[in-house]
Amino acid sequence: MSSEPFTLRWGILATGGIAKTFTKDLLIDVSTRDISDIKHSLVAAASSTSVSRAQDFLAEVGAPLTAKAHGSYTSLVADPDVDIVYIATPHSHHYANARLCLEAGKHILCEKPMTVNAEQTKILIDIAREKKLFLMEAVWTRFFPVSKEIREFVREGGLGEVKRVWADVSFWTDVEKAFGTEHRMVSMDLAGGVLLDLGVYSLTWLFQILYHIVPEPDRGFPSVASQLTKYKPTGCDESTSMLLSFPPNGAHGIATTNIRVSHDASATATASDPIRIQGTLGDITVSSPFRPTSYTLIPASSVSRGTPASFERKTVTRAMPGDGHGHGMFWEADECARCIRDGKLESDDMPWAESEAVMRVMDRVREQGGLVYGEGLESVVWEEKGAVV
Ligand SMILES: NC(=O)C1=CN([C@@H]2O[C@H](COP(=O)(O)OP(=O)(O)OC[C@H]3O[C@@H](n4cnc5c(N)ncnc54)[C@H](OP(=O)(O)O)[C@@H]3O)[C@@H](O)[C@H]2O)C=CC1
Ligand SMILES: O=C1OC[C@@H](O)[C@H](O)[C@H]1O
């Protein structure tokens, strides 16, 4: 006897690029990924620009005709049919938008990075806890089956003791031409820069392995050393490299990010995969740092102590579900539905403490590199009037 699936009712806050991608994924039938315990319903979308922009958005993504268009974020969060809000605004606005949702009693999936700094993230967590609302940073990469499989393999000791993780997330971009000075990627007013936008992925790879799966008593905040080079026209960062050392054994994490050179191995004949997890028994490498659908296991060629690896060199591929449509953002949406159904306020795969710890690392890096976004953006003071609503 099958019970009715739990249906989560979504409201989309903002109508830009990733909002469209995410919403299209949300509309893909869950049965295409062999799921029957939960469902998603798109009930509303809001634009801070105009109601017609929200209407155009709903039409473009192929929303059901019942979905409502709101001409302001305030109107969206007052909609009684909305359970959870997906926040897809620039980094500068996450804190204010999330506060707006929490004050209105809505659960939240907030695009990465959760906020501009760790202090803001902590306040959101405190409010979510107090109001018993679900809150999660939308680090979608963590919910790919391949990410989960890698975490499990390493947790069970498949690689022996992990000594080092490398993660590069970088794009070749003609920055001046592509982004100028106003684009959210480089605008200081929108908390642009490569660290908050892409470096957060490099750090998530380090944290998944060197923090997340480490047993609680041994887990700890890493030491951080970094270099950061600024994009001269605006002063945000265009190249940032971080060297972290994690308790309990001082395993190293090397996280790099850049918008002038690429992580893409296929683009340069001699480059290796951008993610490399190195244990005493061998390595795991991953070729796509955003959408991991395969990984390669490489046993160590010689083992001086202990047992050799129990695996052969091979590449494991996990095809995208259904007929391959979709971006892979539906898995994080599924996680939200299951957590809310089960009365959980945070996800085990992307816990609050980890979002806060990653933000703390990025705070340190910005401090070391002298990158400050200005009082308004770094502030924790929230006034509805001051925010884009
Ligand atoms: N998970 C992923 O793969 C990706 C995540 N992202 C993240 O998603 C967020 C949004 O990125 P993206 O969709 O590329 O950005 P876009 O610039 O395409 O869209 C941002 C939207 O935010 C709203 N907005 C509100 N205030 C402002 C403002 N002052 N300036 C600009 N836009 C504003 C606008 O919608 P409206 O006018 O309707 O209110 C706008 O369309 C970022 O946090 C980014 O890091 C981005 C790309 C990929
Ligand atoms: O999260 C992201 O992933 C894809 C990138 O193109 C984008 O800049 C970034 O925000």
Distance 175 CA to ligand 1 centre (A): 18
The domain locations on the chain are 6-141+340-351+375-386, 145-290+292-323
Q: Residue of the nearest CA to atom 9 in ligand 2?
A: 197
CATH topology match: 6-141+340-351+375-386 vs 145-290+292-323:
no
The per-residue pLDDT for range 97-133, each reduced to its tens digit, is 999 999 999 999 999 999 999 999 999 999 999 999 9
290 CA closest ligand 2 atom index: 3
The per-residue pLDDT for range 124-161, each reduced to its tens digit, is 999 999 999 999 999 999 999 999 999 999 999 999 99
CB 85 within 8 A of CB 77: yes
Cα 348 to chain centroid, rounded: 14
List the beta bridge partners of residue 181: none
Q: Which CATH number fits domain 6-141+340-351+375-386: 1.10.150.120, 3.40.50.720, 3.40.1080.10, 3.60.70.12?
A: 3.40.50.720
ipTM reported for the complex surpasses 0.95: yes
Indicate which ligand has the atom closest to the C-alpha of 111.
1
Residue 388 pLDDT more than 90? no
Residue 346 pLDDT more than 80? yes
Task: Among 114, 198, 205, name the best residue to mutate to test ligand 2's pocket (greatest count of ligand atoms within 8 A of Cβ).
Answer: 198
6 CB less than 6 Å from ligand 2? no
Could you name the CATH architecture of 145-290+292-323?
Answer: 2-Layer Sandwich (3.30)
Q: Return the minimum-mean-pLDDT range out of 40-49, 261-270, 334-343, 365-374.
A: 261-270
| pLDDT, position 389 | 45
pLDDT band at 383 (very low <50, low <70, confident <90, very high): confident
Distance 197 CA to ligand 2 centre (A): 6
335 CB less than 6 Å from ligand 2? no
Of 95 and 271, the one with more pLDDT: 95
The per-residue pLDDT for range 22-66, each reduced to its tens digit, is 999 999 999 999 999 999 999 999 999 999 999 999 999 999 999
- Length of the chain measured in residues: 389
Sign of CA dihedral 235, 236, 238, 241: positive
